[in-house]
Amino acid sequence: MFESLEDNFDNPKVHQLLSEHFVELRAVSPKSSTHVLDIPGLKVSSIKFWSLWQNENLIGCGALKFLEEGHGELKSIRIHDDFRNKGYGVHVINHLINKAKKFRINRLSIETGAGDFFLPARKLFKKCEFEECQPFAHYKEDVNSVYLTKIISTN
Q: Whole-angstrom Cα distance, residue 100 to residue 94?
A: 10
- 107-113 and 131-132 strand pairing: unpaired
Q: Whole-angstrom Cα distance, residue 84 to residue 78?
A: 9
pLDDT at 112: 95
When mean pLDDT is compared across 34-38, 103-107, 122-126, the lowest value belongs to 34-38
pLDDT at 7: 87
pLDDT at 154: 61
With a cut of 90, say whether residue 27 has pLDDT above it.
Answer: no
CATH numeric code, 3-151: 3.40.630.30
- Domain limits of the chain? 3-151
When mean pLDDT is compared across 36-45, 80-89, 112-121, 127-136, the lowest value belongs to 36-45
